[in-house]
Amino acid sequence: MKPVLATLRQKGHINSGFIDDFYFQGQEFSDCAVNVSDSVRLFISLGLHVHPDKCALIPSQELLILGFLINSLLMIVKLPLEKKVKLRDLCLQALRGNKLTIQFVASVIGTLISALPGVEYGRLHYRNLERDKIHALARNNGNYRAFMHLSEAAKQELQWWTTHVMHASRRLRHPVISYIFQTDASDLGWGVTCTTNPQLQSQGLWTGEQRTLHINVRELYVVFICLTIFGMEKSDVHIKFELDNMTAVSYINHMGGCRSSACDTVARKIWAWCISHNIWVTANYIPGPSNVVADSLSRKHLSDHEWQPNTDIFHKLSKKFPKFSIDLFASLLNRQSHSEMSGENLSRPSRRGFTGPCMAHTNMVPSSSTDAHSAAKAVVVDPSSGVIETPIRQGSQHARKTEVDGMSLVRQHYQNQGFSDHITGVLLDSWRISTQKQYASYLKKWNLFCRERKILAHSPTLNQVLEFLYTQLHLSYSSINSARSALSCFLSIGNFPVGKHPIVCRFLKGAFERKPPANKHHAIWDVHTVLAYLKTFTPNSGLSLKELSHKLTMLLALHIKQSRPNYSVPPVIVPRYNLDPDVCPYLCLEAYLEKTKHLRQSVNLLVATIKPHRAIGSQTLARWIKIVLAGAGIDITLFKPHSTRHAAATAAYAADLPVDEILQRTGWSNATTFRRFYYKGVIE
């Protein structure tokens, strides 16, 4: 029917269709009547039969279509009365029943979902019921005839439907978007910026408890924080959020979800706040590179932003004096009283360049001039983080370097020695990206350790370093050694880098004796098993991009290379293997290059299998190798992607390839290294 409706639209008519139901609309009564007349005439000319009894051929401002009543005067859609009564009675039956079958609960959920187009906030009130059903099915091995009990949360949802369904409706359109906010969450804190009014910005730090939450939950929390800060005095407006997290976008637009109860809780909290303030929210996904302002705000720590009265003194004053009406120091991080500063000043930008909760401008104390401010020479040391803050420069909104996340401690160490930014960048490049990521986790732990104990992160004592390493003794020896190496990047005690200090070396030796590292495995998987599995992926020209990518990745992974410092990486030569074309890396590479020649956007060989087909990273590469290993029947809980080096070397040695040639191809210095670390017996 698409060509038929398209023909009518060319005449200026507004219509839509679903199977054999059609909807016609006009600006005036006469326009709608002409629309219906022309449509019926065309249908009949095509041999279609129009049922007069089933059709509403006279234009009306309220119309029943697809089981819902549409009111064009009030611009709402609602359920017919008989459906409302049926739905209410069904919910009451579920509430009164002591033992309900899973099948009955599933039918209730299906009925609720079918009514959602006519109930404004219905999506908020069925997820707990759905979770109860899912858990009951899991307990009863998928038997829908089994009995189940409803949780209190599910009963409250059913009670909501019985109370609201009789007068429920849903708006066909919402207010025009008034504000667009971009939000972002990092491990350090959160950031918010308004694209429609760039002066509206805010940022803050996570509490210790919030920092442990999943990143998806934190992304949703930022939206809630933004609403409480900027939406306090707004009503009957439409606010749009732009996030770089698809999960958060989905949970906001769908008013929750069943997969993550934590995300669902925050999403419901967001919508409960919006309902109480008559605000409508929507969310859109934006790529990370387009969210730079909010991302930058979430990663900056302004130490003079967060002040807090001494907790003990505050409690003593609270007992002695009446309840405080205003806490001038209050923010989401440091508040000690439920009564906070008036919301009118929560979004006012301060004169110091950062944004967030601040006092209103006042003439009681004159502000410093720009010249005096830019000429300040003071250097402030934050005792909690050990980060030295440089003077603020004129015209810089976020000039203070207060990053404390990951390798920023190392960067700050070099900058404190007077090295320029470009020199510092080269020094940091001496560590690979993978090494920086490995070190970053331990540097974050070190920073947290220093904050909790009020230690200067850049100048600890030997005993404080040992105390930190002691807190890591529950980890493996290699992990403790990585922590030592991370601290050695920027810490020295006496004339020794902290990792080479005799006492630290002695401590590491003791840790080794307490928990000596054990070999993960004494045997390796058979390369022939994986190659036999790859033979099933033929012909190369008929494989999907995903299958071809996985096959090529594994074949190339079996070609070992070295990239250590001072080692000249030889050209990677992919030979043709004529004995077995099905596992020939040359032919596979040739087919891959042909398939991706219009997809590749960079010089990188391997690209993602989904749009927009960007270059992949090491994590994706490792995941593809694990997929192939698992498909070949290899235990991936025991063997990791790096095991391809062991397997290839072992297979070469088993094929009587001379050890000297293996060493030459792989870049190992001597046969001892090969036999000790890379040669393994093959699992039968």
Q: Are 617 and 602 in contact (CB under 8 A)?
A: no
pLDDT over threshold 60, residue 17: yes
Give the Cβ contact number of residue 387 at 10 Å.
24
User: Is the pTM for the entire model greater than 0.75?
Assistant: no
pLDDT of the residue at 366: 38
Q: Which residues pair with 185 in a beta bridge?
A: 190
CATH architecture assignment, domain 177-298: 2-Layer Sandwich (3.30)
pLDDT digits (tens, 9 = 90+) for 215-260: 999 999 999 999 988 877 778 889 999 999 999 999 999 999 988 8
DSSP structural state of residue 607: B
3-state secondary structure (DSSP) of residue 286: coil
pLDDT digits (tens, 9 = 90+) for 38-95: 888 888 888 888 887 788 888 887 888 888 888 888 888 899 999 999 999 999 999 9
| One-letter amino acid of 375 | A
Distance CA 113, CA 458 (A): 57
pLDDT of the residue at 207: 81
Q: Place 611 in a pLDDT band, splitting at 50, 70 and 90.
A: confident
Residues of the chain with pLDDT > 70, as a percent, come to 77
Burial class (CB in 10 A: 0-12, 13-18, 19+), 370: exposed
Dmax over Cα atoms in the chain, in whole Å? 97
Q: Place 134 in a pLDDT band, splitting at 50, 70 and 90.
A: very high
pLDDT averaged over every residue in the chain: 77
Tell me the helices (H) and strands (E) count for the chain, helix number first: 26, 19
Q: Which of 60-64, 186-190, 357-361, 579-583 has the highest mean pLDDT?
A: 186-190
* Class in CATH terms, 81-171: alpha beta
| One-letter amino acid of 59 | P
pLDDT over threshold 60, residue 673: no
pLDDT digits (tens, 9 = 90+) for 548-604: 888 888 888 877 555 555 555 566 677 777 788 888 888 888 888 888 888 876 677
Please state which CATH number belongs to domain 409-514: 1.10.150
Give ranges for CATH 3.30.420.10 in the chain. Answer: 177-298
Distance CA 293, CA 605 (A): 32
pLDDT digits (tens, 9 = 90+) for 425-458: 888 888 877 788 888 888 888 888 888 888 888 8
Give ranges for CATH 1.10.443 in the chain. Answer: 523-562+573-682
Cis amide leading into 570 (omega within 30): no
Q: What is the arithmetic mean of pLDDT over 1-5?
A: 82
pLDDT of the residue at 242: 94
pLDDT over threshold 50, residue 370: no
Give the Cβ contact number of residue 652 at 10 Å.
20
Q: Place 381 in a pLDDT band, splitting at 50, 70 and 90.
A: very low
Q: Place 385 in a pLDDT band, splitting at 50, 70 and 90.
A: very low
The separation between the first and the last C-alpha atoms of the chain, rounded to the nearest angstrom, is 63
User: Of the CATH numbers 3.40.50, 1.10.3210, 1.10.3470, 1.10.443, which one belongs to the domain with range 523-562+573-682?
Assistant: 1.10.443
Q: If you count them, how many residues does the chain have?
A: 684
pLDDT over threshold 60, residue 639: yes
| Strands 170-171 vs 76-78: parallel, antiparallel or unpaired | antiparallel
Burial class (CB in 10 A: 0-12, 13-18, 19+), 116: middle
* CB-facing half-sphere around the CA of 487: CA atoms within 13 A: 30
Bigger pLDDT: 36 vs 222: 222
Q: Place 352 in a pLDDT band, splitting at 50, 70 and 90.
A: very low
Burial class (CB in 10 A: 0-12, 13-18, 19+), 131: middle
Q: Which residues pair with 280 in a beta bridge?
A: 238
pLDDT of the residue at 527: 77
pLDDT of the residue at 656: 57
pLDDT of the residue at 252: 94
pLDDT of the residue at 638: 76
pLDDT digits (tens, 9 = 90+) for 257-303: 988 889 999 999 999 999 998 999 999 999 888 888 888 888 876 55
Residues of the chain with pLDDT > 90, as a percent, come to 18
Residues 6+ apart with CB under 8 A from 332: 204, 225
Which of 337-341, 388-392, 534-538, 658-662 is predicted with the least confidence, judged by mean pLDDT?
388-392
Closest CA to 171 of 112, 236, 250, 249: 236
Q: Place 304 in a pLDDT band, splitting at 50, 70 and 90.
A: low
Q: What is the arithmetic mean of pLDDT over 666-683?
A: 52
pLDDT of the residue at 89: 92
pLDDT of the residue at 521: 55
pLDDT over threshold 80, residue 33: yes
Closest CA to 453 of 385, 359, 534, 523: 385
Which of 44-53, 346-355, 626-635 is predicted with the least confidence, judged by mean pLDDT?
346-355
